[in-house]
Amino acid sequence: MSDQAMVVSPGAVSLDDLARVLDGAAVQLDPAFWPRVEAAADLVARAATADAAVYGINTGFGKLASSRIPLEQTAALQRNLIVSHCCGVGPPMPEPVLRLMMALKIISLGRGASGVRRAVIEQLQAMLARGICPRVPQRGSVGASGDLAPLAHMTAVMIGEGQAMRGGAVISGRAALDAAGLAPLTLGPKEGLALINGTQFSTAYAISGLLRAHRLACAGLVTGALSADAAMASTTPYRPEIQLLRGHAGQIAAGATLTALLQGSAIRDSHLDGDARVQDPYCLRCQPQVAGAAFDLLTQAARTLIIEANAVTDNPLVLVDSGEIVSGGNFHAEPVAFAADQIALAIAELGAISERRIATLVDPALNFGLPPFLASAPGLHSGFMSAEVTAAALHAENKQRAAPCSTDSTPTSANQEDHVSMAAHAARRLSEMADNLAGILGIELLVAAQGVGLRAPHATSPALAAVIDALRARVPALAGDRYMALDIAEATALVASGALPAAAVAVLRHDPFPTLP
């Protein structure tokens, strides 16, 4: 076991802890939870030898629950469950999200209500610590009864079957265990069911999407402030009195962030008097309202996902205090599906308003004296004409992907599972949506920085000047038409990295950006 493993206490794991797992941390169950894990496992062992039928322990599964399984066949039952459910298709999960899924399963099993032996959790811990990456196809779950197919692919490697990834190559699960010095696990009663019942695939993707969306929402406040200065927009709409009169926490925080970012702008001071415009377009004026609403959605989704990350979501559940084993429906991922849909809405709207700011800055009818498309010689040069079209294309994709997934139930398993959440692809789509939003904000960064430069000799605020310096270290100002795809890629990477808020904070010497719970 890695000496660097993070100790997790199920029920108290934070979003920051989960972010550390995405960054590569291994996890180890708090030893205080082992007695409850072992007590639950003892209850399952006794139930497996009893005469009474107990679902998933001495019976078949789903529609086949009426079939009784003799004690001597329980190991075969669990093994058969795993391999028969390895039905995923498509490309494999990215390693950070896969590791988070494995960590979430450790946390869930560690609550001591699933009835697995200590050895099951220790196998997962060892795989994480030693870098074993099961090859888990991304498609095949409908989010009830749990993320069966993805979790089955993970579990298959634990028992020496299935496939794993090593150095970019696909190897057998047994070879992966051998290379790490681990032995295949033989599953006992209920253990296979405990491993594949649950929402950990959907939750891992949703948490990854949430963290990316929040990082991009903060970057969007930076690019939005730059656009406001490039357009010589009024900062009056960002005043705290306006936000407080409405009362939404996200709006108040977003307005305060925009005010801090624009503090000390000579561009702003240059048009305080004599500006004939009465009001700016909504994409500039209503930034606190739109970005703030997005932050509020992300906050609500975060609260749901933190609860889910600490939850027991398999079936049946082992109630150690009463000595009962009871069937329920915690595997239904509706909370995760709703949270993922909320995150998708926030991502889509942040891209929508950013795309409108880009369009405003390249339009000579709206950009308050800047050249068409910010070109150095309009006509001879096209400037950012086509970059704005790319932003529109990315925004259109995200609009299409933002349609709710949680309302699209498709019954499965001979109508035993007749209402499902669709949480898996609700959460999985967030990755591509975040990629698109990063691209839109990267284009806005390029356009807004160019516009601010064209306002010389008037300078932007010190905080935004530092942001432009970070961009110019990688992308020079546009002096004439050039191959722009590389510029967009560099700006997009800068946005995705979190470097824009960091550059501003270094100058401000305090962090004005909204945070998650």
Token pair listed for 82: 């795993």
Q: What is the CA radius of gyration of the chain?
A: 26
- 108, 10 contact by CB (below 8 A): yes
Separation CA 232–CA 236 (nearest Å): 12
- 45, 188 contact by CB (below 8 A): yes
Measured in degrees and rounded to the nearest 5, phi and psi for residue 242 equal: -65, -45
- 3-class DSSP state of 12: coil
Separation CA 53–CA 434 (nearest Å): 47
- Catalytic residue (choose from 55, 205, 238, 282): 55
Please confirm, yes or no, whether 55 is among the known catalytic residues: yes
Separation CA 493–CA 140 (nearest Å): 31
- 230, 370 contact by CB (below 8 A): yes
Separation CA 417–CA 185 (nearest Å): 29
Q: Indicate the burial class of 444 (C-beta count within 10 angstroms; 0-12, 13-18, 19 or more).
A: buried
DSSP β-ladder status, 324-326 and 317-319:
antiparallel
Q: Indicate the burial class of 181 (C-beta count within 10 angstroms; 0-12, 13-18, 19 or more).
A: exposed
3-state secondary structure 89-154: EEEECCHHHHHHHHHHHHHHHCCCCCCCCHHHHHHHHHHHHCCCEECCEEECCCCCCCCHHHHHHH
Separation CA 163–CA 154 (nearest Å): 9
Helices (H) and strands (E) in the chain, counts: 20, 9
Dump the DSSP string for 260-317: HHHTT-HHHHHTSSS-------HHHHTHHHHHHHHHHHHHHHHHHHHHHHT----SSE
Catalytic positions are: 55
